[in-house]
Amino acid sequence: MTSTSVRVALRVRPLSNKETLQNCSECLIVIPDAPQILIGNDKSFTFDYVFPSDTEQEEVFQECASPLIDKMVEGYNVTILAYGQTGSGKTYSMGTAVDGSNIQGIIPRAIRKLFADLHERKEQNPFYEFEVY
């Protein structure tokens, strides 16, 4: 995790069934072992994190959100924001995914981690108090 105040992650959405049936292909290339993408032959963009389309929800959470929950428990203010056009995968990445815990997004994982961490602190120090609002 970098020490800057703002970090930006890019997650590539896999092609939908409709896009696959129409023989569509991804319009960008994820550079292996680098947080960078290539669009066409002449445009490259670098981010703090880049997740290819086959990345699991847990990996995105562990890389991006889990360290922020740790900071929040330490008393720092944190924000996690999903941005993108309609259909780009924001709800999937952030959402509840009631179909199964393995595809739960950042929000339910963050809540579960937050309360587990707070409970652990309370176990270590019975006088520890916390307020979530």
Q: With 70 as the cut, is the pLDDT of residue 97 above it?
A: no
Domain that holds residue 8: 1-53
pLDDT band for position 2 (50/70/90)? low
Report pLDDT for 112.
93
Report pLDDT for 100.
72
Global pTM value: 0.85
122 marked ligand binding residue: no
91 marked ligand binding residue: yes
- Let me know whether 61 and 25 are in one domain: no
- Let me know whether 60 and 121 are in one domain: yes
As a whole-number percent, the residues of the chain with pLDDT over 70 amount to 93
Mode of pairing for the β-strands spanning 49-51 and 9-11: parallel
Q: Please give the tally of structural domains in the chain.
A: 2
Residues 6+ apart with CB under 8 A from 50: 9, 10, 12, 30, 31, 34, 35, 36, 37
Report pLDDT for 5.
86
- Let me know whether 66 and 118 are in one domain: yes
Average pLDDT taken over every residue of the chain:
90
40 marked ligand binding residue: no
With respect to residue 91, please indicate whether it lies within any of the assigned structural domains. Answer: yes
90 marked ligand binding residue: yes
- Let me know whether 18 and 69 are in one domain: no
95 marked ligand binding residue: no
With respect to residue 1, please indicate whether it lies within any of the assigned structural domains. Answer: yes
pLDDT band for position 120 (50/70/90)? very high
Q: For the segment 3-62, what is each residue's pLDDT rounded down to a tens digit?
A: 668 999 999 998 989 999 999 999 999 999 999 999 988 999 999 999 999 999 999 999
75 marked ligand binding residue: no
Give the alpha-carbon dihedral of 114, 119, 124, 127, to 10 degrees: 110
